[in-house]
Structure 1
Amino acid sequence: MGNLLRQRGFGLALLAAGAVAAGGFGHAAQSAEYRVIARYALGGRDVGYDYLRLDALSHRLFVAHGTRVEVVDADSGKKVGEIADTPGVHGIAFAPEFGHGFTSNGLARSVTMFDLATLKTLAVIKYTGVKPDSIAYDPETRRVFVVNGGDTGDVSVIAADSGAIVATIPLGGGKLEEAQFDGHGHGFVNDEDQNVVHVFDTHKLVPLATWPIAPGEGPTGLAFDRQRHRLFAACGNNKLVVLDSDSGKVVATAAIGADPDGAVFDPKTQRILVSNRDGTLSVVDGNAADHYPTLQTVRTEPFARTLALDERNGRVYLPAAKFAAAPAATADNPKPRPAMVPESFVVLVVGE
């Protein structure tokens, strides 16, 4: 996922969050349906966090936090376990057919395979991908796909049963972000640098196409409506770009908050939810054919930029933390990053 402390447009992001608090963004704030209904305080002194995933079978949240994955009861917020020694962990994926889970460890350039029931580490898979970032399981092929966000611009493929490395798919990408699958042999990956979506064959493990997403710029989060064959790319220029997943044609755009980093599609409500670093959650209606009005802009917290959806009840979980002011820029460090405040890490619960 995008760099935790990316500064791009954050001043505008904070202004946008303030506008929401004051009732801005048109009618969205007036007709609010979603709101923050709970806060799970996880604390800790680990710096950095990224994706979180909900295991629907056990109803546990797996939250990437620094050098470990915290496992939390999704209903109570109580911590029930952790997966340690995952340096710079970014993402989590589940392969329930095998009882396996996987984490992408950005600092270690590795993937940890663990037992979903006991949370015990089964294997640490080392490979040559640079900056393993998002990670996703494709039930159709029973493979795990690790999106490498570094200079290699590729995707590493792992057998979900054994943990063996199957292949590496060279996408010629820049900063690759999130992956989705259509269940019919196609995978899709956002490219934040090149402003495209890469398409690859999940069986032959070769690249197939590259789709421009103009007018979108800086795509990060990627969601998918399988029934309507629509991909939703959350972009850094306040646009949600909607693509036909068969042709790659851009069919619509929607307005979202500033500096997004996550997107999900709720098949029950037919809504797309986008988490934005500016401290907002954008709610977009996906019911009408290629018409995507923004229904609501929910105030969350600054830096609450990724999310997980509970399809059972429609609740959304977003990790967040407090950050100190960034130090003054210097010649050696022209873009200094703010430091995460210890013990401030939380998971926000948003519901109707």
Structure 2
Amino acid sequence: MGIKGAHGTAIALSSGHGFATSGNDQSIVMFDLKSFKELARIPAAEDADAIVYDAPSNRVFSLNGDAHSSTVVDAASGKLVTNVPLGGKPEYGASAGDGKVYANLTDISEVVEIDAKNAMVTRRWSTEPCEQPVSMAIDTTHRRLFSGCRSGVLAVSDYQAGKTITTLPIGMGVDGAGYDPARGDLFATNADGTLTVMHQDSADKYHVVGNVQTPTGSRNMGLDQTLHRIYVAAAMFAPPPAGAPQGRGGRATVVPGTFKLLVIER
């Protein structure tokens, strides 16, 4: 499919289409879910990263970090709708399934709310004392958002009220989050070599169950809500070369042949 710098994938089952961000050429690739054939390449913006599908509007929203924007695409036609300025650098996002899409703005420690149908920002609120929010999970039953922050805490927001209600301690270097609605469990994968496990006692009350040790750098995860399994990507990393630039350009590189997928059950 010619994806250059793949970062995120969104699935629109009703249209039979998948969408993947191609960050290195600032585009979104639409592909057929059966054949995996590339159907279209839609221009996005600089640092196209995470991507979210919103079923009520049948649209996908790429979150473009360096461009501080979201590119909106019609999931049926693959046509560009618009680019929405967000006022900050977005990381992960989530659809509430009610026509609203949420995203973390990591540089200003905020959550932003997007009206999917009208493609416009309708609200924002602070995640403080949770700084640099990146990962996100959602509980649509209790209307709660979970933002994992690089400052070592996870913020719980009431997205109906538009405010942060509590925080929980997690490991450092978070980049993944998941919520299991059947069991009320929360998870955060952290680059310091921990998977923080939390439990939802009620909509507003939570506690940390403990930390599972993982290989250092294992900060991305997927959650199977049916099997209640967590999948964590892991590998060995070589240090960045001397004089490497800060940020993504200076990231450590994966040692070839060391990738593995951890399967964790609770």
Give the TM-score category using the shorter length: over 0.9
TM-score by length of structure 2 reads 0.94
Aligned to 1:192: 106
What is the deviation of 1:231?
0.8
The structure whose RCO (Cα within 8 Å, separation 6+) is larger is 1
Q: Distance in 1 between matches of 2:151 and 2:71?
A: 29
**Which residue of 49, 52, 70 corresponds with 1:133?**
49
- Contact preservation (8 Å) 2:221, 2:231: yes
Q: Answer yes or no: is 1:302 the counterpart of 2:216.
A: yes
What is the deviation of 1:237?
1.1
Q: Answer yes or no: is 1:144 the counterpart of 2:60.
A: yes
Q: Distance in 2 between matches of 1:120 and 1:279?
A: 37
What is the deviation of 1:315?
0.5
What is the deviation of 1:184?
2.1
Q: 1:123 to 1:334 in 2, by over 3 A?
A: closer
What are the equivalent positions in structure 2 for 1:1-352 lying under 5 Å apart? 84-127=1-44, 129-150=45-66, 152-173=67-88, 175-328=89-242, 330=243, 333=245, 336-352=250-266
SS of the residue corresponding to residue 107 of structure 1 reads helix
SS of the residue corresponding to residue 117 of structure 2 reads coil
What is the deviation of 1:145?
0.6
- Contact preservation (8 Å) 1:114, 1:123: yes
Q: Distance in 2 between matches of 1:301 and 1:142?
A: 38
Aligned length: 264
- Contact preservation (8 Å) 1:271, 1:287: no
User: Amino acid of the residue matched to residue 213 of structure 1?
Assistant: T
- Contact preservation (8 Å) 1:93, 1:101: yes
| CA offsets 1:256-298 (integer angstroms, 9 cap, x no match) | 1111011111111111111111121111101324111111211
Which 4+ residue blocks in structure 1 deviate beyond 6 angstroms?
none
Q: 1:334 to 1:180 in 2, by over 3 A?
A: closer
Q: For structure 1, list consecutive stretches of 5 or more residues without a partner in the other structure.
A: 1-83
Q: 1:324 to 1:183 in 2, by over 3 A?
A: same
User: Amino acid of the residue matched to residue 249 of structure 1?
Assistant: K
Larger Rg: 1
What is the deviation of 1:333?
4.3
What is the deviation of 1:346?
2.1
TM-score by length of structure 1 reads 0.72
What is the deviation of 1:228?
0.7
Which protein is richer in strand relative to its size? Answer: 2
Q: 1:100 to 1:334 in 2, by over 3 A?
A: closer
Q: Distance in 1 between matches of 2:241 and 2:11?
A: 39
User: Amino acid of the residue matched to residue 40 of structure 2?
Assistant: A
Q: Distance in 2 between matches of 1:178 and 1:288?
A: 24
User: Amino acid of the residue matched to residue 58 of structure 2?
Assistant: R
Q: For structure 2, list consecutive stretches of 5 or more residues without a partner in the other structure.
A: none
What is the deviation of 1:87?
0.7
| CA offsets 1:51-77 (integer angstroms, 9 cap, x no match) | xxxxxxxxxxxxxxxxxxxxxxxxxxx
- Contact preservation (8 Å) 1:192, 1:218: yes
CA-atom RMSD in angstroms = 1.5
| CA offsets 1:288-309 (integer angstroms, 9 cap, x no match) | 2411111121112222111111
Q: Distance in 1 between matches of 2:68 and 2:173?
A: 22
Q: Distance in 2 between matches of 1:337 and 1:180?
A: 26
Q: Distance in 1 between matches of 2:95 and 2:172?
A: 26
Q: Distance in 1 between matches of 2:202 and 2:211?
A: 19
Identity %: 36
What is the deviation of 1:334?
6.6
